[in-house]
Every structure is written in C-alpha cells, then in structure tokens.
C-alpha cells in the first residue's frame, strides 16, 4: 500500500516535470490531485489498512499531497511567466518609430523675450508701463530734448500721420514723459515696452516696425555707476554669468552722459568671430543719465533728482541668442520659424 | 577729433598756424558787409587775396584731400576744401573781379557791399549746379545790391564762382544757425558738405580762424598777397559760457569719488578754464564747444575723460518706488498662456495696413467708415493706415502659412487704432483674434489623414478658455458679414457682447487667398479685450470634492430642432437643483426616427449629495421633477 503510494508519487512527480504549459499543468493537476486523481484514489483504500498502519500512511499521503501541490504552484508560476514573456516578446515595438505628437501652441519669440526682460528687471523692482504706439511729436521728440530740425531726428526717420504733430513713435522713450508726469514726485523704476516704427527700407537687417524696451529709473540717488551695475547685471542674467560689459561714449539728446553698452561676444567669448565682426564685442543697448531738460519736462527738479534710461531691442537680443539671420522673420510669422522656439 | 585724442591721451593739442602775413594793400574801404539777421547769421568774415596764380595744389594737399574722399580741382578750391577738413570751417571763395564789376553798376566809386538777408517773397536763386531754386522765407541769402551771390552756408552762386581766370579772391567764412541751415537744406533738397557741417553746428569763433588759415595758404601755396585788414561782421559776439559746478553734483551723477581738484584737472585737459570758487568750480567753456550748456554736460566730459570703463558698477540703492501692478498686462499675459496651452500659436503681425486690405473682411457688407490713422509718408500704398482689425492681420498670416502648413491655429493679441473721441491721438484698443483651419492634428503614420477642424473645435477652445478664466460666457446665434450665415455666434457676458466667432464667410476666405481644400472651413474669433479683460475675475472659490457616491442617469429628451442646446441645458440645471452636479451632452440626433422638426438631446446626468448617499427614490424624484419642468417650459418629452 505504502509502496504503491510511493510509486504513484514518483510517477506524479515525473509527470509534473514533463508537463509543459498551463493547460498540461492543469490536466496533470486534475489527473493527479483531483477528485478522480491517482493520489486521491489511494485514499479510498484506507479502509484496507490496519489501524496501526493507517496513521503512518495518512501522514505520508498528506506530505506527498503538500509537496506535489507546492511543486505544482511553482511549475505553474514558471509556466505563466514563460507565457507572459513569450507574449511580450511577440509584442515588441520599433521604438525608433516616431511618436504621436499632440498639437501644441507656443508663444511668439518676442513675447518670450519680453517676458525674460520683464522677469530680470522685475527682480530689481522695475514694473511695466505701457504707452501708445501713435504718439505726439511732443512726447516722442520735443519734450525729450529733440527740437525741430535737430540733427538727431534724422537718425529716426519718422512716419508722420495726416494729423499735424502726430507720428508713429520712433522709440519707447516716448513714454518717459507720460510716466514721469503720472508719478512725480515719487521715484520711478519702470520698463516701457512696445512697438516702434521707422520709415526704413525693409531688409534682412532692418524693419519698419520693431519692438523696444526702455528702462527708466528716477530718484534722489541714482548715478552712472548704478546704470552700469544694473545693466551689467541684466546682461549677465540674460546671456550668462561670465559676460563682460563695456560702455562706450555715445550721444542721445535725452540722456547725458550717454553710452552704448557692449557685451563680450556670446559666440566666441571675446576671441573674435564673424558674429562680432572680429571685435569680440556685441552692441546690445544704448543708455545714459536722464537729461535735466527731460527731468524738468517730466515734473522733477533736475538739481535734486537723477535718473537713468536705457533702450534695448528684443529682436536684437533674440537674433543674438538664437543666431537668427533675417529680422523680417519676426513679423512674417512663418510657422516653420515660430515652431522653432 | 584731434582735440579729443589730445584730451583723452592727455597730450598737448597740435593746432594749425592761424597767423596770416598781410602783405598786400589795405582792404579798408574796398569791401563792406551787412548782416541783417544776427540770430541766423551771427558772423561773416572776409579777406581779400590778390594775384593768386592758377597752379596745381601741392601733392601733399591733393593726397590728403583724396584720403578724405575729395577730388582735387584747382588750388583755390583745394585750399578751401582743405581748410574745411582741417579747421572744420566751411568757407567760400568769390571772384573778386566779378564782385567789383557788379559794384561798378551800383556804386562806381564805393566799396563792394556784401549783404546777408532773408529773401523777398517769391525770390529765386541760381546755384552752382545750374538749377534755379525757390527760397523758403527763412533761408538766408548772401547778396550784393546787384543780386544774389549764394545761399548762405549751403551753396554758392554761378556768376561769382571761381574760374580759371580768377586771380583775385574774396574769401568768406561765416557762422550760421545750425537748425536754420538744416531746415533750409532740407527744403531746398541741397545737401552739400558745407550744409552738412553747418547743420551740425560750427562755432562763430572758427569763422575767423578758418578765414585766416585759408588766406595764409592762398598766399603761400598760390602766390597771392593778402590785403591788410579783415572785414568781420560780428555784431553780437557770443559770450563765453560760464558754468557754476558743484563737485557734489558731479559725484552724485557720476558715482565717482572725485575731488574738486580731480574734476578741474580733467576739465582743463579739454581746454576748459576752471577756477575754484569756495566749494564750487567756475568753469568757462572754450569757444569751440557749442554743445556745453550746463553742469550735466561737464559731468559727461568728466566721465568720458575718466573713462567709462573705470567708473564702478553698483546696484540701485535708491528708495524702491511704490510697486504698482499692471493688471491689464497681467491678464493679457494670462490669456496668452491659456491660448498657447489650448494649442494655438501666437503671432505678432504688422500693424500698418491699408483700408483695401481690411475691406476684404466685409464682402458685400457696408464698408468700414470709421476714420483711419493715416500716414502722410507711407512705406507702401497698401500700408498707409494703422489697422482697425487684428483679425485681418491674422488672416494674412494664416493665408501665407496655408501654402505649406496642414494645420493652422493662430492667435494674436494686439492693438487696433480707432480715431479718438478727444485729442489728436487715436484710441488704442486691445483685441484678440483667433484663426483656425486645416487638419485637427498633425498627420502621422498612425492616423492617416486627420479630419478637418470645424465650428466646434473653435467653440471648444473658447469654452475651455472661458472655463479656465472662471468667466461664464454665452454664445448666441447672430449675423455678421464676415462670417457664414447660420454658423456665427456672438459672445455674451451677461448682456455685454465681448466678441464674435464662427465659420468665416467663404468669400472672405477666398479674398484672403487662404489655400485650403474645398469646403474646408476657416474658423475665426474676434474678441474685444477692452470688454473682456476688466471682466476676468482675479480669484474664485474652490468647490470641495464630495465623498458620497454619485448616481449617474441617462436622459434623452426630444425638443424642437430650432431650440438651442444651451436653453435645454440651463433648464436642466435649474430643474435639477443642487443635487444635479454634472450635465454632459453625449448625443444629438435628428432624423427619421423622430417626427420632423424635432431633435433628441441625450445627457449623462450625475446626481450627488454632500451629506448622504442618494437613494433610488431620491434620484427618481429629481428625474420626475426635471421631466415635468422641461415639458412645461420647453415642451420636451422623454425619448421612447
Ligand atoms: Zn564673436
């Protein structure tokens, strides 16, 4: 009896080892451990055993059943893993095929550049002040110390409207007087962004409309050294912490002293390349201390009040940052251009 | 220039010799000068050089002239040009014999009389280039009683021009008001080298120096003799400018820690005369510096000489001004972000347009008769006004892109320019324009050719936009000449119209030359941000999430086909009360299974209570109430 049990056990273990796949394993389980299975059938013969033999046989039978069940579970887990593995192997993808791109929108490169300028100067307490595109000659020139027939007007070929004294602003400096008259005698730290217009031939390098951001600080204690420090800080945050700046004497009617700020070339770091025309420097903005005449026109006492102003072109900044070769792209809005940013 | 180099390098300036040897007979009584307008012509200096030989100018002079881009002509003209370059003083040479012959007509025994004056009405002048020119009332003429000789500071006259026969030269050097020279040169369209230089300001002191330098060169290089005496009409000599300079002001403006002595030393290098006066400095400007007017000009000189790069860099330590929000800008920027998130590409387009370009938006409609801001010098005939419509600009960009892009989804936020109610400036109003056309998605290998966008794509973008803004906006069918009838809606916040959206009229799409496939719609929206931005709420309340389980019910209602779905939904929400949390339309049917003139709208309704689990009885009570009310209000019936 016990011998038969051991035989059946040996056979069942061999059959389990030979069974491949979940179906074969299920069949083995049915045939071996099921209600009509070989092991179970032996229990029917328990009655034929003597009372002394019965406990040992019963113990052994339970041991065998437990071992077979556990071996079965292990085989089943192996089989399932193998099956899943085969399934996944069959489902391999060409990971190099392109993905499904969701259509997504973008902000125009000028919006993004303006925001970068706002953010950097915003950290230094400058806030955005907007003024109109269509301006009076008075705001755009006269009150900024450009009298009629002044030579500096020639550099800014204006678009005139059919209303006398009304032009398209040639620079966002035109908003300086508006801001000063609104805020005096309080100190001012503002950014004047906006579209400007000059009657110039449209080429890869010049446009009839362009954006500008003017920076204006007015207060009791503002010096040329502050102007240098503020603009150098800006250049380093925008173009990298290792940027060098250089200030050259210049002339604008509404600032004195006036300067042009250059940054060390972002491409060659000053070594000289075609972008910086082998000078190592890139012109980035014009600036200066607010002219006493302008301060007075804005309602401030120029003996007690000081200020600085700077004007920069977001297109110029984007052109340098991204190596854009044609300024007309900004307003042409070709999607193949816009989608690169 | 040489002065600048000397000052920047702190070396003595090398100046030309201004001494002239007067070895001829006296000039006295031979020439008199009258200047009528000392403001416009402050100084007029004349010297006479007789017996000038017509020899070529020396090689060194020709060489230097060529280096400066000037063509050598003859010794007299070359000297005149050379002095202009060297001294910076344009000057003019008259044929003295011609002037004398003319004087024989008006004063046979008297002197030549040079007279600078404003023109008489209608007076003309014939210039060196042979043209006869009409004069502006402010342009100064150099004349004698016999007629005109030249246009002061701009161009000489024909008759008194130096010829090959000339041996006696009357040399003139004068000072002119630079602004008057500029406007005269512009009005006459005469842009001579002299006008360019005078137009940038030449100090009166240089007239005498230039005249003497030229006379001496004519004597030494052309063999002339210089008549003794100088005729110098200078009725109101410019007083030297003396500036009271506070060194503390220099320190504050420059940020440089300079002593009064440091400042004085720097200014002296630029030929300023500096005298200490207590704490302050009295600075007398050299007479060649017309540009120095006040203390700030001196600070510029100090900074420049100190060298900008040596000035320290500091951050602003001044009081931080009151911080002011720019709410409208913040809201515009929020709109930009949301629209980009919703899949639209932002553009910035040209703001100059033409009335004809914008008229394409109104086919057959009444023309836009609001006045435009119009340019008097437009860059092109069809770019002569400031736009009234941002949508028109966006459509032009959409058309350009339609040649290559399968999907176009654009927006622009920017101003339009409407003639102002008060004052000369227009009202600049902010607008949002959206244009949507082409494929719904990019084509890729997984989806073949995606379907084209339609009205409900744009509607969905706007729905999502206003939901994100927490601003309830209604859409109401309307008519508009730019849009296709029956597919146009006006956007309402309460009773206030904030914009129009819809499918563009096919005629408009054609007029803008949008290269789209047949029957593919172009969707557009034009929203008035002057109306929308102030309505955008700055904050809104959070709705707590409910924990009791929701109950979902489907409800298909049959209503008149003409009834707007929005009316059904708002009636549903009103009837459902607080327990009805969500209403989602999932099917619209109109067809043979329904009586004609009817449509079915099928909704998923979600009921949920904040404080308990709803029972079937609760929900069926709500459902019954909804059906009853909708039948009463809209004649709606349950679809069987
Ligand atoms: Zn470089």
pLDDT at B580: 94
pLDDT for residue B290? 75
Q: Write out pLDDT tens, residues A223-276.
A: 999 999 999 999 999 999 999 999 999 999 999 999 999 999 998 988 999 888
In B, minimum Cα distance to A262 occurs at B309
> Tell me, what's the pLDDT at A163?
93
Interface touch B179/A248, C-beta < 8 Å: no
Closest chain B residue to the Cα of A184, Cα to Cα: B321
Tell me the nearest-neighbour CA distance from A133 into chain B, angstroms: 8
Q: Which of A130, A223, A302 sits opposite B254 (nearest CB)?
A: A223
Q: How confident is the model over B518-542, as a mean pLDDT? A: 94
Q: How many CB atoms are closer than 10 A to CB B75?
A: 24
Taking the centre of ligand 1 as the mean of its atom positions, its distance from the CA of residue A320, in whole angstroms, is 11
Buried b / exposed e along B493-527 (16+ C-beta atoms within 10 A): beeeebbbbbbbbeebbebbebebeeeebbbbbbb
Contact A222 B303 (CB under 8 A): no
Is the domain defined by A109-338 classed in CATH 2.160.10.10? no
Predicted confidence (pLDDT) at residue B6 exceeds the cutoff of 70: no
Over range B489-497, report the average pLDDT: 96
- Nearest to B98, CA basis, from B150, B35, B59: B150
Whether residue A185 is preceded by a cis peptide bond, meaning omega within 30 degrees of 0, is: yes
State in Å: Cα A286 to ligand 1 middle.
Answer: 20
Nearest CB to A130 within list B309, B329, B446: B329
- Asked whether residue A206 carries a pLDDT value surpassing 80, the answer given is yes
pLDDT score, position A88: 93
pTM of the model: 0.83
The predicted pLDDT at position A223 comes to: 97
Tell me what the mean pLDDT of segment B612-619 comes to.
92
pLDDT band at residue B16 using 50, 70 and 90 as cut-offs = low
DSSP annotation of B223 reads -
Q: What percent of chain A has pLDDT over 90?
A: 71
Residue among A98, A103, A186 with most chain B CBs within 10 A, to mutate: A103
Residues of A in contact with B256 (CB under 8 A): 224-225
Which among B90, B206, B65 has a CA at the least distance from the CA of B142? B90
Domain boundaries defined on chain A: 2-90, 109-338
Residues of B in contact with A136 (CB under 8 A): 424-425
Q: Give the residue from chain A lying closest to B446, CA to CA.
A: A100
> Where do the domains of chain B lie, and which CATH numbers do they carry?
2-233 (3.50.40.10), 242-310 (3.30.56.10), 327-535 (3.30.930.10), 551-638 (3.30.70.380)
The 3-state DSSP class for residue B28 equals coil
CB contact under 8 Å between B318 and A220, yes or no, is: yes
**Is A223 part of the contact surface with chain B (CB cutoff 8 Å)?**
yes
Q: Does B409 touch chain A (CB under 8 A)?
A: yes
What share of chain B in percent tops pLDDT 70? 97
Res B13: pLDDT: 55
Of A233, A289, A339, the CB nearest to B315: A233
pLDDT at res. A135:
96
Q: pLDDT at position B603, please?
A: 96
B556, B627 contact by CB (below 8 A): no
For chain A, positions 252-291, list CB contacts with chain B under 8 A: 256-259, 289, 291
pLDDT band at B17 (very low <50, low <70, confident <90, very high): low
B69: confidence class by pLDDT, cuts 50, 70, 90: confident
Q: Which residue of A has its CA nearest to B201?
A: A151
pLDDT at A311: 97
Q: Which residues of B212-248 are buried (b: 16+ CB within 10 A; e: fewer)?
A: bbbbbbbbebbebbbbebbbbbbeeeeeebebebebe
Residue B50: pLDDT band by 50, 70, 90 thresholds? very high
Query: Is the pLDDT score of A70 beyond 60?
Result: yes
Under 8 Å between Cβ of A29 and A75: no
Q: What is the mean pLDDT of residues B406-421?
A: 93
In a mutagenesis test of the A interface, which of B176, B179, B249, B318 is the best target, namely the one with the most A β-carbons within 10 Å?
Answer: B318
Would you call B442 and A101 a contact, using CB atoms and an 8 Å cutoff? yes
What's the CA gap between B238 and B234, in Å, rounded?
9
Taking each helix axis as running N to C, give the angle between helix B2-9 and helix B295-306, from 0 to 180 degrees, rounded to the nearest 10.
Answer: 70
With an 8 Å Cβ cutoff, are A226 and B447 in contact?
no
- Closest by Cβ to A104, choosing from B252, B343, B426: B343
Q: Do B179 and A147 touch (CB under 8 A)?
A: yes
Q: Which residues of B touch A127 (CB under 8 A)?
A: 323-326
Place of tokens 């006006």: B490
Which pLDDT score is estimated for B12? Answer: 56
Q: Whole-angstrom Cα distance, residue A295 to residue A307?
A: 8
Q: Which residues of B touch A287 (CB under 8 A)?
A: none
- Nearest CB to B318: which of A151, A211, A222? A222
Average pLDDT over residues A117-145: 96
Instruction: Enter the ipTM.
Output: 0.88
Q: What is the DSSP letter of A98?
A: P
Q: Compute the CA torsion angle A157, A163, A169, A173 (nearest 10 deg).
A: 110
Q: What is the mean pLDDT of chain B?
A: 91
3-state secondary structure (DSSP) of residue B405: coil
- The residues in B 333-362 lying below 8 A from A, measured between CB atoms, are 333, 336-337, 339-352
Angle between helices A2-18 and A53-90 (to 10 degrees): 0
* A155 has pLDDT over 70: no
Judged by CB atoms closer than 8 Å, whether chains meet at A161 and B340 is answered as no
Residue of A93, A101, A102, A105 to mutate, testing the B interface (most B Cβ within 10 Å of its Cβ): A105
């Amino acid at each position: 009896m016990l011998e038969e049990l051991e035989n059946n056990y040996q056979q069942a273990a061999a059959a389990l080892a030979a069974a491949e796949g979940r179906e074969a394993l299920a069949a083995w389980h049915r045939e071996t451990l099921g209600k009509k299975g070989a092991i179970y059938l032996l229990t029917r013969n328990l009655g034929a055993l003597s009372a002394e033999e019965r406990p040992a046989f019963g113990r052994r039978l339970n041991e065998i059943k437990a071992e077979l069940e556990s071996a079965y579970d292990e085989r089943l887990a192996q089989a399932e893993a193998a099956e899943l593995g085969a399934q996944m192997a069959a489902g391999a993808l060409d990971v190099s095929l392109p993905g499904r791109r969701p259509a997504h929108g973008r902000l125009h490169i000028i919006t993004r550049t303006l925001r970068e300028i706002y953010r950097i100067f915003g950290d230094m307490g400058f806030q955005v002040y907007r003024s109109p595109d269509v301006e009076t000659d008075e705001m755009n020139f006269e009150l900024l110390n450009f009298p009629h027939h002044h030579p500096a007007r020639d550099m800014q070929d204006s678009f005139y409207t059919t209303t006398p004294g009304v032009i398209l602003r040639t620079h966002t400096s035109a908003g300086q007087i508006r801001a000063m008259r609104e805020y005096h005698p309080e100190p001012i730290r503002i950014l004047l962004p906006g579209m400007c217009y000059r009657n110039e031939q449209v080429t890869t390098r010049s446009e009839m409309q362009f954006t500008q951001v003017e920076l204006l600080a007015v207060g009791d204690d503002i010096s040329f050294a502050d102007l240098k420090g503020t603009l150098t800080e800006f250049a380093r945050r925008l173009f990298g912490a290792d940027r060098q700046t250089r200030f050259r004497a210049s002339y604008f009617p509404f600032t004195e002293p006036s300067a042009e700020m250059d940054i060390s070339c972002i491409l060659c770091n000053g070594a000289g390349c075609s972008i910086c025309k082998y000078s190592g420097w890139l012109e980035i903005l014009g600036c200066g201390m607010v002219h006493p005449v302008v301060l007075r026109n804005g309602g401030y006492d120029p003996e007690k009040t000081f200020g600085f102003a700077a004007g920069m072109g977001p297109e110029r900044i984007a052109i340098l940052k991204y190596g854009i070769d044609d300024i007309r792209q900004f307003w042409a809005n070709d999607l193949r251009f816009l989608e690169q940013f | 220039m040489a002065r600048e180099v000397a000052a920047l390098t702190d070396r003595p300036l090398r100046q030309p010799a201004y001494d002239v040897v007067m070895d001829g007979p006296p000039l006295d009584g031979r020439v008199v000068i009258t200047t009528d307008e000392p403001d416009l012509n402050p100084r007029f200096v004349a010297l006479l050089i007789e017996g000038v030989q017509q020899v070529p100018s020396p090689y060194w002079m020709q060489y230097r002239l060529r280096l400066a881009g000037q063509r050598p002509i003859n010794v007299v003209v070359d000297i005149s040009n050379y002095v202009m370059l060297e001294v910076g003083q344009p000057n003019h040479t008259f044929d003295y014999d011609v002037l004398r012959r003319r004087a024989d007509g008006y004063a046979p025994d008297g002197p030549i009389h040079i007279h600078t004056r404003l023109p008489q009405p209608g007076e003309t002048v014939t210039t060196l280039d042979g043209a006869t020119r009409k004069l502006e009332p402010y342009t100064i003429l150099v004349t004698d009683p016999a007629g005109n000789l030249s246009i002061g500071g701009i161009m000489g006259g024909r008759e008194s021009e130096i010829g090959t026969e000339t041996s006696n030269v009357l040399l003139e050097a004068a000072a002119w008001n630079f602004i008057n020279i500029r406007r005269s040169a512009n009005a006459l369209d005469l842009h001579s080298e002299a006008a360019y230089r005078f137009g940038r300001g030449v100090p009166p002191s240089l007239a005498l120096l230039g005249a003497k330098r030229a006379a001496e060169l004519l004597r030494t290089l052309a063999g002339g003799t210089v008549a003794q005496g100088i005729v110098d009409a200078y009725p109101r000599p410019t007083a030297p400018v003396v500036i009271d300079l506070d060194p503390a002001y220099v320190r504050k403006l420059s940020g440089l820690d300079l002593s009064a002595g440091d400042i004085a030393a720097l200014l002296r290098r630029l030929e300023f005369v500096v005298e200490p006066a207590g704490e302050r400095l009295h600075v007398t400007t050299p007479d060649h510096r017309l540009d120095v007017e006040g203390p700030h000009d001196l600070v510029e000189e100090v900074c420049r000489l100190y060298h900008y790069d040596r000035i320290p860099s500091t951050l602003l330590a001044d009081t931080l001004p009151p911080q002011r929000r720019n709410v409208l800008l913040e809201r515009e920027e929020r709109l930009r972000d949301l629209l980009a998130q919703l899949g639209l590409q932002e553009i910035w387009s040209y703001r100059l347009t033409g009335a004809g370009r914008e008229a394409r938006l109104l086919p057959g409609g009444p023309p836009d008769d609001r006045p435009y801001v119009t340019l008097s010098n437009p860059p092109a005939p069809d770019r002569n006004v400031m736009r009234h419509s941002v949508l028109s600009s966006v459509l032009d960009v959409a058309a350009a892109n339609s040649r290559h892009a399968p999907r176009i989804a654009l927006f622009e936020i920017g101003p339009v320019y409407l003639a102002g109610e008060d004052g000369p400036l227009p009202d600049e109003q902010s607008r949002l324009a959206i244009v949507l056309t082409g494929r719904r998605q990019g084509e890729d290998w997984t989806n073949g050719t995606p379907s084209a966008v339609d009205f409900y794509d744009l509607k969905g973008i706007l729905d999502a936009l206003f939901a994100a803004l927490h601003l309830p906006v209604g859409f109401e069918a309307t008519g508009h000449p730019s849009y296709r009838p029956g597919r146009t809606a006006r956007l309402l916040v309460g009773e206030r119209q904030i914009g129009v959206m819809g499918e563009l009229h096919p005629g408009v799409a054609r007029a803008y030359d949008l290269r789209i496939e047949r029957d593919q719609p172009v969707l557009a929206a034009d929203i008035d941000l002057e109306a929308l931005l102030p309505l955008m709420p700055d904050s809104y309340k959070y709705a707590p999430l409910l924990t009791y389980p929701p109950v979902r019910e489907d409800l298909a209602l049959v209503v008149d086909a003409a009834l707007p779905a929005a009316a059904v939904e708002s009636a549903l929400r009103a009837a459902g009360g607080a327990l009805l949390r969500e209403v989602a339309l999932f099917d619209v049917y109109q067809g043979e299974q329904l009586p004609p003139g009817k449509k079915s709208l099928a909704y998923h309704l979600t009921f949920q209570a904040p404080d308990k689990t709803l029972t079937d009885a609760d929900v069926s009570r709500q459902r019954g109430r909804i059906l009853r009310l909708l039948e009463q209000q809209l004649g709606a019936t349950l679809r069987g």
